[in-house]
Structure 1
Amino acid sequence: MTFRPVKSLSEGDFTLEGAGVHLYRAFGFHKPREFDPFLLFDDFRNDDPEKFAGGFPWHPHRGIETITYVLEGEVEHGDSLGNRGVLGAGSVQWMTAGSGILHQEMPRGSAAGQMHGFQLWANLPSALKMTAPRYQDIQGSDIPEIVDDDGTRVKIITGSFWGQRGPVDGIAADPLYLDVSVPPNTRKVLPVDTHANTFAYIFAGSGAFRDASRPYGVRVEKEVKGEEVNIRDMSGNRTLVNFDTGDEIVVNSGPEGLRFLLISGQPLQEPVAWHGPIVMNTREELLQAMQELRNGTFIRDGRQ
Structure 2
Amino acid sequence: MTFRPVKSETLAEATLEGAGVHLYRAFGFHKPREFDPFLLFDDFRNDDPAKFEKGFPWHPHRGIETITYVLDGEVEHGDSLGNRGVLGAGSVQWMTAGSGIMHQEMPRGNAQGQMHGFQLWANLPSSLKMTDPRYQDIQGSDIPVIIDDDGTAVKIVTGNFWGKRGPVDGIAADPLYLDVSVPPNTTKRLPVETYANTFAYVFAGAGTFRDASTPYGVRVEKEIAGEEINIRDMSGNRTLVNFDTGDEVVVRSGPEGVRFLLISGQPIKEPVAWHGPIVMNTRAELQQAMQDLNNGTFIRDQRD
What do the CA deviations read for 1:258-295 (whole angstroms, capped 9, x no partner)?
00000000000000000000000000000000000000
Q: Tell me which residue corresponds to 1:4.
A: 4
Q: Does 1:217 align with 2:218?
A: yes
Q: Tell me which residue corresponds to 1:225.
A: none
Q: Does 1:279 align with 2:244?
A: no
Alpha-carbon distance, 1:188 to partner: 0.4
Q: Tell me which residue corresponds to 2:45.
A: 45
What do the CA deviations read for 1:214-250 (whole angstroms, capped 9, x no partner)?
xx93289xxxxxxxxxx97321000000000100111
Q: Tell me which residue corresponds to 2:225.
A: none
Q: Tell me which residue corresponds to 2:182.
A: 182
CA distance in 1, matches of 2:174, 2:208: 27
CA distance in 2, matches of 1:135, 1:10: 32
CA distance in 2, matches of 1:248, 1:90: 26
Name the aligned partner's letter for residue 254 of structure 1.
G
Alignment of 1:241-260 (within 5 A): 241-260=241-260
Q: Tell me which residue corresponds to 1:23.
A: 23
Name the aligned partner's letter for residue 35 of structure 1.
F
Alpha-carbon distance, 1:155 to partner: 0.1
CA RMSD of the aligned region, Å? 1.6
Name the aligned partner's letter for residue 67 of structure 2.
I
CA distance in 1, matches of 2:53, 2:284: 36
- For the Cα contact (< 8 Å) 1:125–1:268, is it kept in 2? yes
CA distance in 2, matches of 1:295, 1:109: 37
SS in 2 for 1:234: coil
SS in 2 for 1:67: strand
Alpha-carbon distance, 1:31 to partner: 1.8
SS in 1 for 2:132: coil
Name the aligned partner's letter for residue 197 of structure 1.
N
- For the Cα contact (< 8 Å) 1:52–1:107, is it kept in 2? yes
User: TM-score, normalised to structure 1's length?
Assistant: 0.93
Q: Tell me which residue corresponds to 2:110.
A: 110
Structure 1, unaligned runs of 5 or more: 221-230
Q: Tell me which residue corresponds to 1:86.
A: 86
Alpha-carbon distance, 1:67 to partner: 0.1
Name the aligned partner's letter for residue 209 of structure 2.
F
Q: Does 1:236 align with 2:217?
A: no
CA distance in 2, matches of 1:15, 1:28: 12
- For the Cα contact (< 8 Å) 1:143–1:167, is it kept in 2? yes
CA distance in 2, matches of 1:58, 1:31: 27
The count of residues paired between Structure 1 and Structure 2 equals: 289
CA distance in 1, matches of 2:109, 2:234: 32
Name the aligned partner's letter for residue 244 of structure 1.
D
Q: Tell me which residue corresponds to 1:61.
A: 61
- For the Cα contact (< 8 Å) 2:218–2:232, is it kept in 1? no
Q: 1:86 to 1:134 in 2, by over 3 A?
A: same
What do the CA deviations read for 1:154-196 (whole angstroms, capped 9, x no partner)?
0000000000000000000110000000000000000000010
Q: Does 1:192 align with 2:181?
A: no
CA distance in 1, matches of 2:161, 2:198: 14
Q: Tell me which residue corresponds to 1:169.
A: 169
Q: Tell me which residue corresponds to 2:264.
A: 264
Q: Does 1:208 align with 2:211?
A: no
Which segments of structure 1 move beyond 3 Å, counting only runs of 4 or more? none
